[in-house]
């Protein structure tokens, strides 16, 4: 098995896979910043170039940052890994990317007898660390089912959503929910603060009612502590919402609350918050309300 992309989430996911399936032969790994793979190497993985990972692996996993990273890594005419993977091998892309790109990769892979599965995940750094991600897959049913046991080493749920690109469409729906939910969470804290409420008590109480949600549980207390360290980077969320809005145009639909959330997150980037966690949105709403 080979893993390309050992950032915040990829490192933990690869670690679970390495632990569950052993290291004979060694898992091969590649990351542009080699030091981010140090923990995996210490546990027996072998660092190689992306080309070497592709050549030696029956299963190649990707966890990259942006669609253009995926395109360059997979489809580049000179260095793309599809040119070096073995017939009959599997390409599993965990990157949140464009549905159309997932389908394009599937078509190119199919011509080379390589089985492509788009498999974005949700659950953030905590889900990756604890092995409790939710993974949504797109591709041929037999290929999605074949790789499912591997994905379950770091996922609490794995579900095939349809053909190539369906995993990415499902992740887009996930980000739509998160965007509006985070806006509501942040606005409730601004309101509670201005109304003079004890925000710790407010969060604890509301988490048990109909307003309770996973984001409020995980990052509500962090926001009160002014801890905006990332479980998921703002810059990546802006990328994801950009993909969502591109797909909305292609589908001829309007999602105004998602578009508004995208604008507020763009403002956070402009204010220097690109590397904050998504709950850093609180700081933008604080400026907006002079509080």
Which residue among 112, 171, 194, 225 is the active-site one? 171
Contact partners, residue 248, CB within 8 Å, separation at least 6: 254, 255, 258
- Is 171 considered catalytic here? yes
133-138 and 121-122: which strand pairing? Answer: antiparallel
Largest Cα–Cα distance in the chain?
Answer: 64
Helix 99-111 vs helix 67-75: angle between axes, to the nearest 10 degrees?
10
Separation CA 117–CA 114 (nearest Å): 10
Separation CA 270–CA 277 (nearest Å): 15
Q: Is 19 exposed, middle or buried (0-12, 13-18, 19+ CB in 10 A)?
A: middle
First to last CA, the chain: 51
Contact between 70 and 95 under an 8 Å Cβ cutoff? The reply is: yes
The dihedral of CA 23, 28, 30, 33: what is its sign? positive
Which residue, 61, 83, 86, 72, is CA-closest to 3? 61
For 93, list phi and psi in degrees, rounded to 5.
Answer: -105, 110
The dihedral of CA 245, 66, 132, 114: what is its sign? positive
Tokens encoding 141: 């049913």
Neighbours of 209 (CB within 10 A): 7
DSSP element (H, E) containing 59: strand 59-62
Q: Catalytic residue numbers?
A: 171
């Amino acid at each position: 098995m080979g893993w390309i992309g050992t950032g915040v989430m990829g490192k933990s996911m690869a670690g679970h896979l390495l632990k569950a399936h052993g290291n004979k032969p060694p898992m091969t790994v590649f990351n542009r910043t080699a030091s981010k793979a140090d923990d995996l190497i210490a546990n027996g993985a072998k660092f190689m170039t992306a080309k070497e990972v592709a050549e030696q692996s029956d299963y190649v996993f990707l966890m990259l940052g942006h669609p253009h990273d995926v395109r360059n890594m997979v489809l580049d005419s000179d260095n793309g890994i599809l040119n070096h993977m073995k017939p009959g091998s599997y390409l599993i892309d965990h990157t949140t990317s464009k549905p159309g790109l997932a389908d394009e990769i599937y078509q190119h892979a199919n011509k080379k007898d390589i089985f492509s599965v788009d498999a974005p995940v949700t659950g953030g750094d905590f889900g990756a660390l604890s092995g409790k991600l939710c993974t949504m897959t797109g591709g041929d049913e037999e290929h999605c089912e074949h790789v499912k046991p591997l994905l379950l080493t770091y996922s609490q749920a794995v579900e095939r959503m349809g053909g190539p690109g369906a995993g990415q469409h499902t992740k887009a729906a996930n980000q739509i929910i998160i965007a509006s939910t985070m806006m509501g969470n942040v606005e409730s804290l601004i309101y509670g603060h201005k109304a003079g409420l004890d925000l710790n008590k407010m969060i604890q109480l509301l988490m048990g009612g109909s307003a309770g949600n996973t984001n409020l549980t995980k990052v509500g207390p962090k926001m009160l502590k002014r801890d905006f360290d990332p479980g998921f980077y703002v810059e990546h969320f802006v990328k994801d919402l950009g993909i969502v809005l591109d797909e909305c145009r292609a589908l001829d639909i309007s999602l105004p609350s998602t578009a508004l959330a995208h604008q507020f997150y763009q403002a956070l980037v402009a204010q220097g918050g690109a590397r904050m966690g998504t709950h850093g949105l609180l700081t933008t709403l604080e400026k907006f309300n002079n509080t």
